[in-house]
Amino acid sequence: MAVATQPKRAAVVAAIGGALLTASPVAASAATQAPAPEVAAQSAVLLDENGETLFGKSETSDAFTASTAKIMTATVVLDQPDLDLDRQITVDQAYRDYVTENGASTADLQTGDKLTVEQLLYAALLPSGADAAYALVDTFGEGATRAERVQSFVGDMNAEAKELGLDNSTFQTFDGIGDDTSSARDLATLALHAMENPTFADVVKTPTYEADAPAANGNTRYYTWYNTNQLLGSYDGAIGVKTGTTTKAGPCLVFAAERDGKTVTGAVMNSDDRYQDAAKLLDYGFGADDAAIMKLRKLPAGAERD
């Protein structure tokens, strides 16, 4: 289902640092109080609840997605008909091998453990576990072989992108480890859609999640996953969404925050200072001044970074 948008209106335009920055009339009051912020990201966008652009910097330019692609992975899973979040899925050694072979981020799932679909969504979106994403893809893709199921699922990701009107988005993998490309605007638009699902919204706003699962030896395995999105617990009102980092993509962040009943959603791609960039954009959207004093939530030693 495509995200509803209002008819386009004339934009207020400001040139800063040689980049074209746009602010819609929705943000006119904020824009008159403060100039559009300068951000380090190569591309960035901030959207209001209706998908209207509050801020843009090269927002439709192609960008590698890195693990922000897992927003689409989770979306395709949650769009499954008659989805049972309590369905148990057994961890295959192939999921662990994939992490090792590709140097991917991991939820450290143990072979033979049985985790629910809901637990695997937390494992894929908080520590950005490629093993958990693989387990979901292998379960909900179609085909006689694992490779066929992965190909089928990635096809569903691209079909969903087309349905949502994400014209700059092409997925080659389920976890963004390949040459998956999108744009800041596409990813923010995708996040707007994904956040309409209450399960997705609950998952991505969670800083820490503890799970227990039946282990292969009959005992219980206990997992603790930390959200790699350090904006949570650092910027007042932050409610998501997903980090992503690869050598090609650079540090990326899709984010959302809510204050006084107003929600804004954005993305910064290939930024050397993604959290400050996001905070500046959120300040701009809310007419606030919190970025300068924001202190990032620290991740425990050994926690995944993405």
Please list, in sequence order, all residues whose beta carbon lies within 8 angstroms of the beta carbon of residue 99, skipping any fewer than 6 positions away: 105, 106, 129, 130, 131
Give the span between the Cα atoms of 89 and 220, in whole angstroms: 15
CA distances, 224 to each of 105, 108, 126 (Å)? 15, 10, 10
Q: Does 298 participate in catalysis according to the annotation?
A: no
Q: Does 58 participate in catalysis according to the annotation?
A: no
| Catalytic one of 43, 105, 128, 234 | 128
Q: Does 70 participate in catalysis according to the annotation?
A: yes
| Dihedrals phi, psi of 183, to nearest 5 degrees | -145, 165
| Catalytic one of 67, 105, 169, 271 | 67
Query: CA-based angle 306:277:275, to the nearest 5?
Result: 35
**Could you count the other beta carbons within 10 Å of the beta carbon of residue 302?**
7
Q: How far apart are the first and last CA of the chain?
A: 29
Rg, Å, the chain Cα set: 19
Give the span between the Cα atoms of 27 and 179, in whole angstroms: 34
| Catalytic one of 43, 57, 58, 70 | 70
- The three-state secondary structure class of 147 is helix
Q: Indicate which residues carry an active-site annotation.
A: 67, 70, 128
